[in-house]
Chain A
Amino acid sequence: MSATRIEVKDLVVRYGDQVAVNGVSFTVGRGEHLTLLGPSGCGKTTTLRAIAGLEQPSAGSISIDGQVMYDGSKRRSVPTEQRGVSMVFQSYAVWPHMTVFDNVAYGLRVRKQGTDELKANVERALDLVQMRHLADRGASKLSGGQQQRVALARAIAFSPTVVLFDEPLSNLDAKLRAEMRVELRELQRRLGITSVYVTHDQEEALAISDRVIVMNVGVIEQIGTPEEIYNRPRSRFVADFVGSANLIKGRPVGDGSFAAEGGVTLKVSVVHKPTGGETEVAVRTAYIDLEARPGDNHVPGTVRQRLFHGDFVQYVIDSAVGPLIVRRPPTNLLDEGAAVTLSFSPDHAVLLEV
């Protein structure tokens, strides 16, 4: 068997005149945890639902384990229930008229599993999410976090090869979300499930994924590991949407140099094949030091504003290349009006594609 679980090719989904997904292609490897990240309306959920067969694409193809699930040119589509995927819904979709046990057993009953085996499998799934003690509880009497766990147990109970997650944590409060994030990652690793995860929360995407796909207005902006996405954003959109970045305007002058506004020349890293028409360089707010380090780009500036956030301090620095935002640990506070030297490595100044 090949290492590819899911292959999506040139997927297009239209709603009437609107194009929700406009030619998206990617693959998901066995056991990989892939996240579709983007703002609302970027087509990430539509893409996920198309993989599940809940959304009817207009063109392209989707295959799972080498089997064609959808092929626009041959007008073929396998109905949802025969695709063998599983899904956790944003609203959890825990059936209120059933007990926790019945919810989790649903997929097994559909598959006509014997009583003993079914019971063992349901209990195993409930154990994984620490919900076994509530097996007989009516599903309508559960808290949000508990419903979330039931939805998760239900999704993995029938041992699917692929689990799709549609913003499963977005309805939980911040603290519970952080906990569930850890648990989800743990579970995913332990079971070795292939998963596709949709979220608009960039922190969540970076924390739990093997690879991230950043989407915007129906197309893919960038595919890469969380580190690649963060350190080497390809476009202004990615730099802006994932983490926080300063954008410095100017033009490339060849050989890894960039003539920024204000007459400053910066050493930058060029990941893509440059066209010469680029106009922006992205520098992460966390990667700028306020003391000169050897080998870095150095830009003089003055502290205009200081905001104390607790976990970090945010400075707005007026510099030759324009106002820059810098986030530093909350130690050695600088006063407003202080003169500083901004210092950042050429590795962290990324020339953005046009």
Chain B
Amino acid sequence: MEKTNAVPGDYVELSLVNRDYQGVFLESPENEKGIVLLKLDSGYNIGFVKKEVMEVKVLKKAEEKIEELEIKKNSEKPNVAMIITGGTIAARLNPSKGGVDWLDNPASLFKFYPEIFKLVNVSKVEVPFMKASEDMDFKDWQKIARVAVKLLNDTNVKGIIITHGTDFLHYTSAALSFFLKDLNKPVVLTYSQRSIDRASSDANLNLQCSALAAISDIAEVMLVGHASENDDFCFAMPGAKVRKLHTSRRDAFKVVNGKPFAKIFTDKVINVSEYNQRKKGKIKADTSFEEKVALVKIYPGQNPEILDYYLKKKYKGIVLEMSGLGHAPGKRARNSWISKLKEVQKRGLIVCATSQCINGRVDPLVYSNGRELLETGIIYLEDMLSETALVKLGWILGHKEWAKNRDAVKAKMLENIVGEISDRLEN
């Protein structure tokens, strides 16, 4: 195919050796640049190898559609603000072009999520960046926190909703829990697992329930999403106690070692556990963060010399996701971790322990392996989630006044600051 002046959306005629085809010229798939896609009048898309297309004739140029949707405000409804950061919930397929567009125009929210506007006014929409959550890091958490503080300190805003990709959403929710302590208003994170172009998208219920959460009196960082496979209610889950536990189900997020704050239906909030109440006043973000922290999963036969790498690369802290109650290969193992753990801690590395069981608390006292590991000085983080532990360690070490003193770091890591540690675990 020679260069063509056809652009996605144009109605064209493709000439091949034996016949011609008419249809809408589409964007080539990301991984198939040698292919031309055409939408036939029947609606079906078919492809052609570019080499075999002799000519592309534009029959009708695509019409530039300017969407002019106005955000209708109703003074009787409470105002919420939205922060859009990317992910499935903010991505929509543009079928006329065949590609995916970000839904970053506030007005387009109306088109896709008319239901949330029944309950609230979305008075402000901020888009600090558009990213898949697996592409985010602590700098993005800081950006979100700064935008959030600005909105939370606006007296016209009752609460905020942050839409986010699901993959690393629980890291962001943990980070915001530490960055935005002592909240005055609800900070609601939500997502979708099913793309919003389908009628079955879970975004609808998640957003409706998020809107209710944002105007509720729950002044916490919380994740709001499907409680089950049914489209009936969501859970409002504590930001530091939640984890993605399924790759694809709509109820992918579960509270681990804890309870949700509330059950949220589209028309009511039913409180389940204690939370901080909404209050007056302004808040500040505390976003200090030490980037040199790591999370390492222990596996059978693992050689502890991997720790030398982290020291060499100037890491300050590490969370080991251990087996069972908090074990790593001990004295009787071929590759014992005991002496290496002593050595790296002596050389200044902070080492914390969580469990790869996900559910339950670590306890090094039950087995001799655990006691020997405890003696090396590692910090056992109770029932804290590994992901929350990593974020917390980065946040603690980001504060110079704590980071300079090993005992202070330990004390802070074991202090329940935002609900990341539970004193008691219920059945």
Same assembly: no
**Chain A residues in contact with chain B, CB under 8 A?**
none
